[in-house]
Structure 1
Amino acid sequence: MPHLGILAFAMPAALLIGISKGGFGGALGGLAVPLLALVMPPTHAAAVVLPVLCMADFTGLQRYYRKWDVANLKIMLPGAIVGILVGSLTFGMLSEHLIGMIIGVIAIVFFLLGLITGQNNTGSEEPKRLKGALLSGASGFTSFVAHAGGPPVMMYLLPQQMEKVRFIATCNVFFLLINAMKLIPYTLLGQFTQESLLTSMALGPVVVLGVWLGGWLQGKVNQTWFYRIARLGLLLTGTQLMIQNW
């Protein structure tokens, strides 16, 4: 069984993943790995988090089934697959710290540009094939390397200002598919251990509770506040990535 000290940090992380996935499109889920990294090596933390992410995605699928934006997914998924393949082939060759720092800086700059330009108050942006392919490719890559795939996806989807349930559902099915794909290379690379899998299983009930709680909270906020929270999540994740990888 997992050590109680590890579970003391892992359970809040799993709850945060569930709330973020279930109600805010994963905006705050990137904070989970750093919580676990306080009590275990980052690579071990990533191996624990991946099955938890899959559980959260699958649980959220039941709430948001077929509410996603098909046009965006057709743009995003091919790019993400390429990004995962690149991450698999270059595993261990590139600096995780440098990648995390770059993504953190970009996320913060994107948030600040939104404030300066008043992007929240402008009309919605149409899906753009090149932008979507590049950012979803970056998401697949950074998701594989450090479970930091959220910021690139947020940067692509937030300007579209789509209805909040459609936004969450699109993020849900996107990450459900790419996290499931990541299970194969993670297994082949020997990332999973008996201890990591037992820890992930122990967190199952917590992440399910978090998804339910996130869905409940999402129903309590309007469209304006939903996007404010999502953008704040992007800022917090970007800041966390910078601090973690400084």
Structure 2
Amino acid sequence: MSDNSLVALFLPADLTVLNLLVAFAIAALAGTVKGMVGFAMPMILVSGLSLFLPPDIALAGLILPTLVTNGMQALRQGAQAAWQSIYRFRIFLLVGLAFLLVSAQLVRILPADVMLILIGAPVTLFAVLQLFGIAIPISRATPRVEATVAAVAGFIGGFSGIWGPPTVAYLTALGTEKGEQMRVQGVIYGLGAVALLVAHLGSGVMRVETAPFSFALIPPAILGMWFGGKLQDRINQATFRRATLVVLLLAGANLLRRGLMM
């Protein structure tokens, strides 16, 4: 039996052994970036995997690695700290969850290009302004602002698997401390990843044919996250903020690219 036949027994027919190895490398890269700045794993995975896989398989592939690594990130400082973050951002979590569950059911019928452009443009603008020193401070997390950002993040996340950029833009504008921002992102994305899994069990994206591929991407994602975490421990708050903004800029530009090229 050939290597490709062995792969076909457990993984989608669109995959070859070479494609699987490339997918492992993409997952490791995504994990490294996430370990360093706390987000961008879904963006890197779905962008990279979509180059050689159908969109639904690429989306399915990111679900389980995202779920596992976000759980690790949320609990890195202990369950009590994670619970405090859940309570503090409860409005964000509840509103984001509701919009994510709704939009996930539209994944096969909703044209994504307009939504990607609408979210990519302000995220890119925010990152550029911040990198050039033009501050957009938010003195406190008002319920209205928090709910609005959560609705946008949840809606785009449901059908694209990417809900990080608006969340990070919000936390960065609040001036969140490095350690807390990493934990909060893990909590928000982790609970969002649970919702994404449940939603796409319903939509049919996560199914018997695609689940093994998603499982297979967990180990390289964890390895990359471990390495990225080592890098993150060595940088100070200013460097962390700049690195976050650079990745955020790339994320926003990538969303614009995807929207314009659809």
Given that 2:61 and 2:217 are in contact with CA atoms closer than 8 Å, whether structure 1 keeps it comes out as: no
Tell me the secondary structure at the aligned position of residue 127 of structure 1.
coil
Match of 2:57 in 1: 44
Match of 1:99 in 2: 115
Tell me the secondary structure at the aligned position of residue 89 of structure 2.
helix
Match of 1:205 in 2: 219
Match of 1:111 in 2: 127
Q: TM-score, normalised by structure 2?
A: 0.85
Distance verdict in 2 for CA 1:47–1:173, change over 3 Å: same
Match of 1:84 in 2: 100
Distance verdict in 2 for CA 1:192–1:164, change over 3 Å: same
Match of 1:75 in 2: 91
Residue 115 of structure 1, CA deviation: 3.9
Residue 168 of structure 1, CA deviation: 0.5
Given that 1:9 and 1:39 are in contact with CA atoms closer than 8 Å, whether structure 2 keeps it comes out as: no
Given that 1:59 and 1:211 are in contact with CA atoms closer than 8 Å, whether structure 2 keeps it comes out as: no
AA aligned to 1:76 is F
Query: Stretches of 4+ moved more than 4 A in 1?
Result: none
Distance verdict in 2 for CA 1:17–1:125, change over 3 Å: farther
Match of 1:24 in 2: 37
Distance verdict in 2 for CA 1:45–1:212, change over 3 Å: same
Given that 1:21 and 1:29 are in contact with CA atoms closer than 8 Å, whether structure 2 keeps it comes out as: no
Residue 173 of structure 1, CA deviation: 0.8
Q: TM-score, normalised by structure 1?
A: 0.90
Identity of aligned residues (%): 25
Residue 238 of structure 1, CA deviation: 0.9
Query: Which protein shows a greater Rg?
Result: 2
Structure 2: runs of 5 or more not aligned: 1-6
AA aligned to 2:119 is I
The aligned length equals 244
Task: Choose 79-88 or 49-58, whichever is displaced more.
Answer: 79-88
Deviations 1:52-101 (A, max 9, x none): 11121123234233435355412311211221133035443421122112
**Counterpart Cα distance in 2 of 1:167 and 1:18:** 17
Deviations 1:177-230 (A, max 9, x none): 111012122112211243422222222211111221121111011000000010
Given that 2:107 and 2:160 are in contact with CA atoms closer than 8 Å, whether structure 1 keeps it comes out as: no
Match of 1:172 in 2: 186
Distance verdict in 2 for CA 1:49–1:29, change over 3 Å: closer
- Tell me the C-alpha RMSD between the 2 structures: 2.1
Given that 2:138 and 2:173 are in contact with CA atoms closer than 8 Å, whether structure 1 keeps it comes out as: yes
